[in-house]
């Protein structure tokens, strides 16, 4: 056992000496720059050189490992940076998508609002059209009302003038007032009634006056649904066939321009029927006829207007 222990000790010692000698040799070479040329020394020195290769390889491996490790760290760092940037980009894209969606919703809402506004605008336009029509109708009504007011004012003016010019129930035409009675008398009594009212039996001086009286007689007969005849102030009592008005003027009553006698196939006025017709009346149709002066008939009085403006 002692021998085996010695051998182990010697082996370890030998290895220690090799390592020691190798290191010492390398150190010696580095410090002195000298190298032994002894052939006896080549063999142990070569043996020491092979032992130095191991740390160099380890160092190379370590350097390579460190380089790779740094590269990996750099790659990982770059990857992390890129991942972070990508995440930021994704967040931005997400935000942009959210904003895009909000914008789309706003656009949709604006579209709905635009549709609502267009409907409102259409309704407003329709109401405006109706209001324009109503305004036109109102303007027409106002215009008509103004015309009626003007006409009423004119009528009131005429009524005022007539009330100033003619007594109540007397009709005005040009410069005369006329009264159609509602009762009947003989021609002479009628003449006296007119005189009591400061008037005379009517004297027809013109076609216009004749037409005015015809219109009044026709209107009154239509209203009463009768055919009433009215004495006028014309007679041939003094001389048969010489027609004279109550104001003393003679009537050229054979001249159709001045007379309005009734004529048909059977009757031709004045006919002095039974030699006893000397007073003249206006028939219901406005035409003249001679009649017996004692007949009771309605009559027409005439007098000049009073207090009328010139």
Q: Could you tell me whether strands 171-173 and 176-180 are parallel, antiparallel, or unpaired per DSSP bridges?
A: antiparallel
Cβ of residue 178: shortest distance to Ca ion, in angstroms?
9
Q: Which is nearer to Ca ion, 21 or 203 (CB)?
A: 203
Q: Which is nearer to Ca ion, 25 or 230 (CB)?
A: 230
Backbone dihedral angles phi then psi of residue 255, each to the nearest 5 degrees: -85, 115
Identify whether the C-beta of residue 251 lies closer than 8 Å to the C-beta of residue 245: yes
Q: Which is nearer to Ca ion, 253 or 290 (CB)?
A: 290
Half-sphere exposure (CA, 13 Å, Cβ side) for 206? 7
Q: Which is nearer to Ca ion, 22 or 281 (CB)?
A: 281
Residue pointed to by tokens 């215009």: 143
Cβ of residue 236: shortest distance to Ca ion, in angstroms?
5
Q: Which is nearer to Ca ion, 185 or 295 (CB)?
A: 295
Cβ of residue 140: shortest distance to Ca ion, in angstroms?
44
Q: Which is nearer to Ca ion, 22 or 166 (CB)?
A: 166
Mapped onto helix, strand or coil, the DSSP state of residue 210 is: helix
Identify whether the C-beta of residue 305 lies closer than 8 Å to the C-beta of residue 232: no
Cβ of residue 296: shortest distance to Ca ion, in angstroms?
16
Cα(211)–Cα(220) distance, integer angstroms: 14
Cβ of residue 211: shortest distance to Ca ion, in angstroms?
13
Task: Give me the residues that bind Ca ion (CB under 5 A), please.
Answer: 203, 205, 236, 271-273, 277-278, 289-290
Structure tokens at 76: 């990982």
Cβ of residue 138: shortest distance to Ca ion, in angstroms?
49
Structure tokens at 173: 């035409």
Cα(78)–Cα(81) distance, integer angstroms: 5
Count the neighbouring beta carbons within 10 Å of the beta carbon of residue 226. Answer: 10
């Amino acid at each position: 056992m002692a021998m085996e222990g010695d051998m182990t000790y010697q082996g370890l010692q030998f290895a220690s000496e090799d390592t020691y000698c190798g290191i010492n040799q390398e150190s010696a070479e580095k410090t002195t720059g000298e190298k032994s040329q002894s052939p006896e020394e080549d063999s142990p020195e070569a043996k020491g050189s092979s032992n130095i290769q191991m740390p160099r390889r380890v160092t190379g491996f370590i350097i390579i490992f460190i380089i790779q490790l740094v590269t990996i760290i750099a790659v990982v760092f770059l990857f992390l940076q890129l991942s972070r940037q990508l995440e930021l980009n994704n967040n931005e894209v997400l935000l942009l998508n959210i904003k895009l969606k909000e914008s789309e919703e706003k656009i949709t809402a604006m579209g709905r609002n635009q549709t609502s506004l267009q409907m409102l605008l259409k309704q407003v336009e329709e109401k405006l059209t109706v209001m324009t029509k109503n305004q036109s109708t109102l303007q027409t009504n106002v215009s008509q009302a103004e015309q009626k007011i003007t006409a009423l004012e004119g009528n009131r003016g005429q009524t005022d003038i007539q009330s100033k010019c003619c007594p109540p129930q007397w009709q005005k035409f040009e410069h005369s007032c006329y009264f159609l009675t509602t009762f009947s008398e003989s021609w002479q009594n009628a003449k006296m009634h007119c005189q009591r009212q400061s008037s005379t039996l009517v004297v027809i001086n013109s076609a216009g006056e004749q037409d005015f009286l015809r219109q009044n007689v026709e209107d009154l007969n239509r209203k009463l649904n009768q055919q009433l005849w009215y004495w006028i102030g014309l007679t041939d009592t003094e001389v048969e066939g010489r027609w004279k008005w109550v104001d003393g003027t003679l009537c050229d009553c054979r001249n159709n321009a001045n007379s309005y006698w009734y004529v048909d196939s059977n009757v031709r006025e004045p006919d002095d029927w039974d030699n006893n017709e000397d007073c003249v009346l206006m028939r219901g149709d406005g035409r003249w006829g001679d009649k017996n002066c004692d007949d009771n008939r309605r009559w027409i009085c005439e007098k000049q207007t009073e207090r009328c403006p010139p």
